A = this chain, B = another copy of it.
Amino acid sequence: MTVTIEFFWDAVSPYSYLAGTQIEALAARNQAQLVWRPFLVGGVMQATGNRPPLTVPAKFRHMLDDLQRWAAYYGVPLRKPDNFPASTLQVQRIACALPDAAVSDWARATASAYWGRGEDISQPETIRRIASSLGHDADALLAAAQDDAIKARLKANTDEAVQRGAFGAPSFFIGDAMYWGNDRLPLLERALSSCR
């Protein structure tokens, strides 16, 4: 039986970016199906009463060091964007407008632009460039992000994550079991190996 990992991610979340650099390989080596599910981490925090690390100065200082350590550990680039936290509303809505098979590339391209190179993914021109580089019709995607059905889809994903126990990003689900954070990938992998 193929096990499914649902990966709730938001491009504004640096730990979603880090996890996103590892999760495809993790799923592949465990013969698991991976579903990238866009949500808004801000909405999840608001709904659950959780607060982002930057609200505690000492925690935020540690986070900046910690992100560089994880990037070095994984061997991936990481540059804190000047405009952190940026709005990822358009980027996340577009992910809801794309066909399922295109979401992983979109998620990784936008997260790499923001956390790998510090680009401002809240700006339409940045979104346009990323869309074009992936072979999408950029204008059509930006228009789709204004569609009520697409907006509702992103909100539904966010609400569903909260319903199922999420309080931050990234959040992984294997069925009912929720795993929070890039740092839980070893535990997620352990669960997958025991499923096989």
Contacts and interface: CB of A to CB of B under 8 A. Distances in A.
Which bucket holds chain A's interface residue count? 20 to 34
Interface string A28-55: 0000000000000000000011110001
Nearest to A55: B49
A63 B156 CA distance: 25
Copies in the complex: 2
B65 A177 contact: yes
Interface in A60-95: 61-62, 65-66, 69-70, 72-73
Interface in A148-196: 162, 165-168, 177-181, 183-184, 186-187, 190-191
Contact of A187 (B49, B73, B162): B73
Interface of chain A: mostly helix, strand, loop or mixed = helix
A25 interface: no
A59 interface: yes
Contacts of A99: none
Given A48-B56, A49-B56, A69 B187 contact: yes
A1 interface: no
Given A56-B48, A56-B50, A61 B165 contact: yes
Contacts of A65: 177-178
17 contacts: A48-B56, A48-B57, A48-B58, A48-B59, A49-B55, A50-B59, A51-B51, A58-B165, A58-B167, A62-B167, A65-B177, A65-B178, A66-B180, A69-B190, A72-B190, A73-B187, A73-B190
